Homo-oligomer: A and B are copies of this chain.
């Protein structure tokens, strides 16, 4: 950590910062510059109580050099994490995994039908919400337990792994009982009680990037999961908030290679929420694979015009088939292939 002093800081103020650093058990290295003095704090283990320093007179700014997270970092573990979905498919290795399904589970007919179709087209996992966090209290909020049971039944029939969201700490256990992967939604990326519980669930977690979360903050959220004992975390870029409302979100595909260099965890992309517009989903799925994503999660609905949520961004089943056909050779260009059920 670097402590930058004000240009009017007195020698006494500089001295006091150095003393405080040493009191805290770290080394201090003063670097007088032309405009101002900066003081290096050496031996930082990532847990420095910054407020003790930032509150001292004459201090202008603290600059972190070490990263605030640890277990998720490449420094801590250089080798890529590979997450096992439990059905013979893994995320984070050479293969690119396709996860697909409706926004919400709506009925047995809907979910069984679409699961069969997706399995036939090349998906390895089935997504679908049983509990839906909705911006308006008047929108459809999901089938709950019945939705979970239908998802589990679809897995029995098709072999697809089940990915579904837990919306609160209390619900994690229930979701973990039925799902293969617990999804933490964008609105809950910093819901710490939920993260801690998911970290103890024993099931892999799909962590979506918050609506305006920095990549570092997504990694810190993942740190909550790893520090609670769960190494099986899949990150998900799903678009961030922007000043241009032409699309629902701004899909930040550069986050994929950036995350790859900072962390050993796999990262996938969600072009459905990332764009919010059906005919932009397939181009952005292709782009995500080209950028190095370990997987794609997309919304596919048997009849989008009748979907109870997110209809405008759901693909028709035949569009998903086309998406698969285009992503496969792009994966090949960078030495990867699409994952397939055994």
Q: Which residues of A contact B (CB under 8 A)?
A: 2, 4, 7, 29, 31-36, 38, 40, 42-47, 49-52, 54-56, 63, 65-69, 74-75, 133-138, 167-171, 187-188, 190-194, 210-212, 214-217, 220, 223-224, 227-228, 240-247, 250-258, 261, 274-275, 277, 279-280, 283-284, 286-292, 304-312, 314, 326, 329-330, 332-334
* 6 closest cross-chain pairs (CB), A and B: A51-B311, A212-B212, A55-B305, A54-B312, A290-B290, A286-B290
Report Cα–Cα, A283/B261, bound state, in Å: 13
Query: Is the pair B32, A42 in contact by a Cβ cutoff of 8 Å?
Result: yes
Provide the residues of chain B in CB contact with A46, threshold 8 Å. Answer: 138
Counting every copy of the chain, the complex holds 4
Query: Is the pair B284, A254 in contact by a Cβ cutoff of 8 Å?
Result: yes
Cβ-neighbour of A216 out of B240, B241, B246, B333 (below 8 A): B246
Cβ-neighbour of A66 out of B34, B211, B215, B307 (below 8 A): B34
Cβ-neighbour of A34 out of B44, B194, B277, B305 (below 8 A): B44
| With known contacts A136-B68, A286-B290, A330-B290, A40–B31 Cβ distance under 8 A | yes
| With known contacts A42-B33, A191-B191, A254-B250, A51–B169 Cβ distance under 8 A | no
Cβ-neighbour of A188 out of B65, B191, B211, B240 (below 8 A): B191
Query: Is the pair B54, A311 in contact by a Cβ cutoff of 8 Å?
Result: yes
Report Cα–Cα, A227/B272, bound state, in Å: 30
Provide the residues of chain B in CB contact with A40, threshold 8 Å. Answer: 29, 31, 38, 40
Report Cα–Cα, A246/B239, bound state, in Å: 15
Cβ-neighbour of A137 out of B51, B75, B227 (below 8 A): B227
Provide the residues of chain B in CB contact with A334, threshold 8 Å. Answer: 286, 326
| With known contacts A137-B224, A290-B286, A310–B65 Cβ distance under 8 A | no
Cβ-neighbour of A51 out of B42, B51, B307, B329 (below 8 A): B307
Cβ-neighbour of A287 out of B31, B191, B258, B290 (below 8 A): B290
Name the CB-closest residue of B to A38: B65
Report Cα–Cα, A251/B252, bound state, in Å: 7
Query: Is the pair B136, A52 in contact by a Cβ cutoff of 8 Å?
Result: no
Q: A290-B290, A290-B330, A326-B334 are in contact. List 11 more A-B contacts (CB 8 A).
A: A33-B42, A35-B67, A38-B40, A55-B311, A68-B136, A135-B190, A137-B224, A168-B191, A240-B250, A286-B334, A287-B291
